[in-house]
Amino acid sequence: MTDTTNQAPRENAEKDPSQWVTGDEPMTGAQRSYLHTLAQEAGAEVPEDATKAQASELIDELQGRTGRGE
């Protein structure tokens, strides 16, 4: 029998951005860059002061609008 108590889960659990420990920090450079790409395609504006959590939610929304998230 193999002991698996110390192994990481095989699936990546998705956590609601509002529950992120670092969700209130400014969005990352990667988020900013991708958001600007999506926003340009969707004809949307990107708030420059968005937090990581807000950026993640906006990415999800814009991916849906542009068809990039599928």
* Structural domain containing residue 51: 23-66
Residue 42 lies in a domain: yes
pLDDT tens digits for range 3-57: 555 655 555 557 777 677 777 899 999 999 999 999 999 999 999 999 999 999 9
Question: Could you give the maximum distance between any two Cα atoms of the chain, in Å?
Answer: 56
**Predicted TM-score of the model (pTM):** 0.71
Tokens 């209130």 appear where? 24
Q: How far apart are CA 22 and CA 26, in angstroms?
A: 9
Beta bridge partners of 26: 51
Tokens 């991916």 appear where? 63
Residue 57 lies in a domain: yes
Number of domains in the chain: 1
Residue 52 lies in a domain: yes
Residue 6 lies in a domain: no
Residue 47 lies in a domain: yes
Task: Kindly state the DSSP code that residue 43 receives in the 8-state scheme.
Answer: T
